[in-house]
Amino acid sequence: MRQIWKSFRALYFASLMMLIGSGLLSTYLALRLAADQVDGLWVGALMAANYVGLALGGKIGHRLIGRVGHIRAYATCAGIVGAAVLGHGLINYLPAWIILRMIVGLGMMCQYMVIESWLNEQASPKQRGLVFSGYMIASYMGLVLGQLILVIHPQLGPELLMLVAMCFTLCLVPVAMTRSIHPAPMRPAPLEPLFFMRRVPQSLTTVLSAGLIIGSFYGLAPLYAAQQGMSTEHVGLFMACCIGAGLLVQGPLGKLSDRYDRAWLIRGVAGLLVLAALPLAIFPNVPMEVLFAVGFVASLLQFSLYPLAVAFSNDHVEGERRVSLTAMLLMTYGVGASIGPLVSGVLMKQFGSNMLYAFVCFTALILVLRIRPKAVTNLHQVEDAPLHHIAMPDSMSSSPLVVALDPRVDEQVVQDQMQTATEPEPETPTEGEPQPDAEPERVVPSGEGVVRPVAVVDTDVSAEPQEARPDAALDASRDVGVDRPL
């Protein structure tokens, strides 16, 4: 592991600085609006705008990297993100903040894509698991350290925005100074929403619920803590404690996931989350000690849902479709994380701050009711299932290219589906020279798709044939007692 850290320390440092800035910015904006007596709807809208930017950045990032290369794309986005961060200090108009927040999310997604491409390029197949773990640790540590800065500097002045901009400037240094040849650009992984809604609907339901819960947490937990009467220092400690729980739970969660049925684990974790968050949902005000303890336990559970859903879905999807699966899961998570802060923000505005955890309880309860382990047919379970559990970062700290680092995905499949050679720009022919025939355009999957949660059915594996024909899937599902999509 020491050799891994030494080999990839520059990219890990870049990830660390990015997440320090991102985590600090999210909490700072929530506390700043709370200090100005702005209701939770605006705070939720800011976090939703960030996730919309992250979703858009996945598509724009591919084009930008393909056009100018990894280093130029990274430097461009780092500069834009730094300028957008400082723009929050120059403008006090909230609709403008929403646009700036979207720009920050868009630029950060492109930066994630560059770093993950580089990690995958330099990691040998045997090192991918360890390289992936180091990336996860650096990401979570950055989010935690971003909260702890508020303990050292509790004043909500423009100095914090300058510090965030400084982090995004420093994260540029290791990438700009690299002596490595930048990796080949990757094209977007194709989305197959209808196929995955029929094949792994319970996994998509879990990912959507995780997005609703965690998106609301990142955006509105600082506001909730502030409305509980906490000082800025204590809000920073509370957020650091909760995010740190997400890192600590990954190890024990992996052992449980590899040993027990994952559908039952998802249902059990969701049920425990309902019970854990219930005290904060019922009581408008709780003592600080109770808030820290209950918040830590609830975070242990809420940060477990997404990795479990990813592992569960990989157990029932063939290796050649796991690149598309990862893109679909991140898209579904982004949809939930964009909606969650808006809904919980409205509830907090109308009924009080404890509605944040009431929303968490309600979402987790729906998940308990929707996950039915006995409905899993296991018809398409892969031969070596359950696959080894890998803690997957969500779209707050990763991009669709994170699939290239997942050791469960065959590297050759990634290369075949996402790798594309950089084509030189055509030279302008001089007058009198014969002009070569133009090559036909290659149609590259755009990765666009619409996630419709209402189409989720009640089984994680429908009896669909291996060739994945939608019409045959619906006919065959009647033979095994699988509900048809709504």
User: Would you state the pLDDT for residue 458?
Assistant: 38
* Phi, psi of 378, rounded to the nearest 5 degrees: 60, 20
pTM: 0.80
User: Would you state the pLDDT for residue 452?
Assistant: 38
Helices (H) and strands (E) in the chain, counts: 18, 0
Tell me the C-alpha to C-alpha distance, in Å, between residue 268 and each of 273, 296, 300, 377, 424: 9, 18, 13, 20, 53
Where does residue 217 rank: exposed (0-12), middle (13-18), buried (19+ CB within 10 A)? buried
Q: Where are the beta strands (DSSP E) in 315-394?
A: none
User: Would you state the pLDDT for residue 420?
Assistant: 55
In tens, the pLDDT along 5-29 reads: 677 788 889 999 999 999 999 999 9
* Contact between residue 200 and residue 337 where contact means Cβ atoms under 8 Å apart: no
User: Would you state the pLDDT for residue 449?
Assistant: 38
Identify the segments of the chain with pLDDT beneath 50: 421-486
* Contact between residue 469 and residue 445 where contact means Cβ atoms under 8 Å apart: no
For the chain, list the domains and their CATH numbers: 2-177+187-410 (1.20.1250.20)
User: Would you state the pLDDT for residue 419?
Assistant: 63
